[in-house]
Structure 1
């Protein structure tokens, strides 16, 4: 029995004191309305109306129930309106994630864009690696995120894939700092600082494969992600790191003497996109994807991945050879 629908009919008849006018108000014919009232009375074991050929009046029991019936309908309407806002992304909770290394101004811009377009949406933002994001999406603990490619995209839907070219951070004493751009082969002799492989295994392997093809095989790979930690290693260990241009600029916190240079031929790039669990998109997820895409597309050095490279992985390998 549709109790809410039947109660709505009861309130309409009680307020109109006429079955015909109540039927018009509800947008239904009078006979089905009368049948609904009879079924409700039977369900409650209580007569709600006294009916004559000329009038309809509430019984004492009906009068006592009317305020409760109105309150039930008000709560129902509030519930349905809240569900619609959550569905459309206008309120509710969005659990989203960004990878480490995203510039602070981009994080701020994404959150600002969400607040402007979805002011009622509460955002629970996490800093998570691609591997962690995909695992949480699979376990329904994350609604959306920004992931690096290549990776295993089974079970997720993706936004457009974007590309940001990488350059190299050089130690103060490196003679390569005098060059306008640096070929990968010239980096021989420098250790390499990379994010931990577990954070994005396929991307990690792809970067090393590209370096090897370009003539650079680091003698030692050191792992680190925090900006200050990475720059400390560059200073003390004759190591290098790959970063986008804005993260290598002195205005963004470079240590004195550390130099950023583009790589000859732009062989390395971050490839990334928004992602969310397949068939679980919502207004809130769309709002996050749109905000992130708008901010990232307007960032320096970011372009659409053209021509698009495959996103899936080889069966026998985690990266493309």
Structure 2
């Protein structure tokens, strides 16, 4: 990085507090180790090769991660607990997130820094695999190999639909009555097995959407419901649904429960096997309590929800 930024071995050596010959030798050893030429050298200047320019971005990221690693090690050395890297899915309400953070703060883990991210299940699983995440709240079903899990909780899904739709007059909406409406779902890449299960259950219950539209943000979802005569599957807490017959806050949109509660989101806190320390336990307890008290989540048996079927019955 120093040689690339200075474009001169002498200036780079001075910046690094070393002599120029050893710096030249180290660059040569690095090029030999990587198997690519990083710099074009002339008597007057040093310029990056195309390969060097591509690897410079990676080098900056490696150094940044190294510095973060050393900072965490220093905190641990000095008697602090360190850093807990955690993630939540995008479909949680603000009240649930706030309750989780309040509960975690009450755990009294002094010196612990909580680094909280908003990530889909797929991105959380990738984070666990890359050792970039310590704990997260995931959707089932998904591949939980190598993970330990907290209690599985169920959040029933209702339907968000235009106030003028015929089904909006019902206290409970059969899935089959949504025929003719497009369906709004989260992007499939975020939780493929959940996505396929939702569509399969809709089809089993008589609703095959004319088209599937993708959205995640509440405002965008509401806009599509209002303008496109589409419907969205949504937990009660996310869109402000009350009891049967209660309306969502937007005057043009209503939320209704589904007859027989055939659809649900299933969550549990997950962490890499063997990583279940006091910080992870505090996060898991706080997340479980927040979901039960603010989102109406109820316990669910894990057996039918934690195993992936070979393929979905529903294909687009």
* Fold match (TM-score > 0.5): yes
Paired with 1:137 and 1:307, the residues of 2 have a C-alpha distance of: 21
Q: How does 1:200-219 map to 2 (within 5 A)?
A: 200-219=191-210
**Partner residue, 2:177:** 186
Q: How does 1:118-197 map to 2 (within 5 A)?
A: 118-197=109-188
Instruction: Report the alpha carbon displacement of residue 163 of structure 1 after superposing the two structures with TM.
Output: 0.3
Unmatched segments (≥5 aa) in structure 1: 1-78
**Partner residue, 1:109:** 99
Instruction: Report the alpha carbon displacement of residue 300 of structure 1 after superposing the two structures with TM.
Output: 4.2
SS of structure 2 residue aligned to 1:247: coil
Provide runs of 4+ in structure 1 moved above 3 Å. 79-86, 250-254
Q: Root-mean-square deviation (CA), in Å? A: 2.4
Paired with 2:278 and 2:125, the residues of 1 have a C-alpha distance of: 20
**Partner residue, 2:229:** 238
Judging by fraction of residues, say which structure has more helix. 1
SS of structure 2 residue aligned to 1:154: coil
Q: Determine if the alignment matches structure 1 residue 304 to structure 2 residue 299.
A: yes
Aligned partner of 1:262 among 257, 270, 282: 257
**Preserved contact between residue 201 and residue 318 of structure 1 (Cα < 8 Å):** no
**Preserved contact between residue 183 and residue 232 of structure 2 (Cα < 8 Å):** yes
Paired with 1:263 and 1:288, the residues of 2 have a C-alpha distance of: 32
Instruction: Report the alpha carbon displacement of residue 81 of structure 1 after superposing the two structures with TM.
Output: 11
Please, what TM-score do these two structures have when normalized by structure 1? 0.69
**Partner residue, 1:313:** 308
Residue correspondences, number: 237
Aligned partner of 1:92 among 66, 76, 82: 82
SS of structure 2 residue aligned to 1:235: helix
Instruction: Report the alpha carbon displacement of residue 247 of structure 1 after superposing the two structures with TM.
Output: 2.3
Aligned partner of 2:289 among 286, 294, 300: 294
**Preserved contact between residue 313 and residue 319 of structure 1 (Cα < 8 Å):** no
Paired with 1:186 and 1:247, the residues of 2 have a C-alpha distance of: 23
Choose 279-288 or 256-265, whichever is displaced more.
279-288
Paired with 1:131 and 1:246, the residues of 2 have a C-alpha distance of: 23
Change (3 A) 1:122 1:81: closer
